[in-house]
Amino acid sequence: MPNTHQLKPGKSIQLDDISTEGKEIHENRDAAEKDFVSLRHKFIELQPKLYAEGKQKLLIVLQAMDAGGKDGTTRKVFRGVNPQGVRVTSFKKPTEEELAHDFLWRIHKAVPAKGMIGVFNRSHYEDVLVVRVDGLLPKAVWSERYEIINQFERLLTESNTTILKFFLHISKKEQKERFQARLDDPTKHWKFSKDDLRKRDQWEQYQEAYEDALNRCTTKHAPWYVIPADQKWYRNLAIMRVIVSTLNRMNPKYPDGEDEVTGVTID
């Protein structure tokens, strides 16, 4: 069901208590992949309505440990949608210009406009994750950012933006296997850097940082979903279920045509 992995405001979680194994929830991969394709067709039907209606906005946030599947999710879930109505933004290390502004400056510029779906590959949450774990700023600074983020997301929802936040939850064992697969395939060497190993050594610190972000920034208007992501086929299905259910609830409609075109024929 769409709400299976949704966190509840005020109910604290620990990531160690949440399984990374989607196959524990859905044992039949073939059936899951068929369901995914069916839901993606529905998504492809709904997305042009959102774009044509031009009133509502949908923001999808993807966060994960390295090799967690952010890129793969984007490729699989948004395959076939009208690219005019979807904008994917990947937030990497801030530029000098971005660092000269507040931490939300580069984020706010990328939020979706009316009729659009915005996809964040990493997001404003990096500023309570990387900044925290690597000690780039003192705790007195980054600890204030949880409430700033909550207020920012409330501003977006009050501006008719629906927010879906997905944490792709993988195990350390699965991360190791994915890193090794990249090293074993020369065509994927570009996806691996030695810095990935440094961050892997910080696994526990990142898990703690993610727990705090998930617990402190799950709100009624912008809850988090923790998606078991060791099996890519289940990850894709779980996310697609939430997106389609959300778009159904948003209920976008094609606008009426102009009265002046009624009865017009083309010579």
Distance from C-alpha of 10 to C-alpha of 29, rounded to nearest angstrom: 34
Distance from C-alpha of 5 to C-alpha of 239, rounded to nearest angstrom: 10
- 184, exposed or middle or buried, with CB in 10 Å at 0-12, 13-18, 19+? exposed
Terminal Cα distance for the chain, rounded: 51
- 12: its two tokens: 């604290």
| Number of neighbours of residue 39 by Cβ within 10 angstroms | 19
Does residue 261 register a pLDDT over 70?
A: no
Q: Which letter does DSSP use for residue 111 in this model?
A: S
β-pair partners for 218: none
Rounded percentage of the chain residues whose pLDDT exceeds 70? 98
Mean pLDDT for all residues in the chain: 95
- pLDDT, tens digit, 9 for 90 and up, residues 2-14: 789 999 999 999 9
Q: What is the predicted pLDDT for the residue at 246? A: 98
Confidence of residue 266 (pLDDT cuts 50, 70, 90): confident
- pLDDT, tens digit, 9 for 90 and up, residues 129-179: 999 999 999 999 999 999 999 999 999 999 999 999 999 999 999 999 999
- 69: its two tokens: 């599947």
Q: Which letter does DSSP use for residue 101 in this model?
A: S
Fold (topology level) of 15-252: Rossmann fold (3.40.50)
H-helix or E-strand spanning residue 232:
helix 232-250
- pLDDT, tens digit, 9 for 90 and up, residues 22-70: 999 998 999 999 999 999 999 999 999 999 999 999 999 999 999 999 9
pTM, 2 dp: 0.95
- pLDDT, tens digit, 9 for 90 and up, residues 232-256: 999 999 999 999 999 999 999 999 8
